[in-house]
Amino acid sequence: MRSTVDCNELVAAIGEAVVVSDTKGRITLWNAAAERMFGFAEDEALGQSLDLIIPERQRRRHWEGYDETMRSGQTKYGTQLLRVPALHKEGRTLSIAFTVALLKDETGAAREIVAVIRDETVRWAEERDLRRRLAECEARVDEKKS
């Protein structure tokens, strides 16, 4: 039995950010979860470059990968999570994880990239704190051995 779920309704309702961008990296879809995550309203994001949410120091690497994905029509991040920093409208850094899917035209050429994004800022901070605490504990154990 085929689902009667409307794709637009689904994208609007899900809790993960969905961002679609064209071959040049201009945002063509920005759902409500993206708005909550990054702080930009849909009308502020649509038509803008993905640089809107990419930290300056990450841009060169991002665009190299983006251009290669569009050229080749292939990505390893369809099943593998990519974890990177991102920017909130207020200027603070987020830690995000996402997968991507390529939308292709009738000739098979990539025409858009869909990113499904999760904010992992809290989890990342907790893991960093745990690693710090573990290192401190290991240092104390090493001191007692000496």
pTM metric for this prediction: 0.81
pLDDT at 50: 98
DSSP-derived secondary structure for 23-88: TTSBEEEE-HHHHHHH---HHHHTTSBGGGTS-GGGHHHHHHHHHHHHHHT--STTTS-EEEEEE-
Does the pLDDT value for residue 67 go beyond 80?
yes
pLDDT at 26: 98
* CATH (one of 1.10.3720.10, 3.40.50.150, 1.25.40.80, 3.30.450.20) for 7-121: 3.30.450.20
Q: Per residue in 73-132, pLDDT tens?
A: 998 888 888 999 999 999 999 999 999 999 999 999 999 999 999 999 866 666 776 677
Domain boundaries, the chain: 7-121
pLDDT at 122: 64
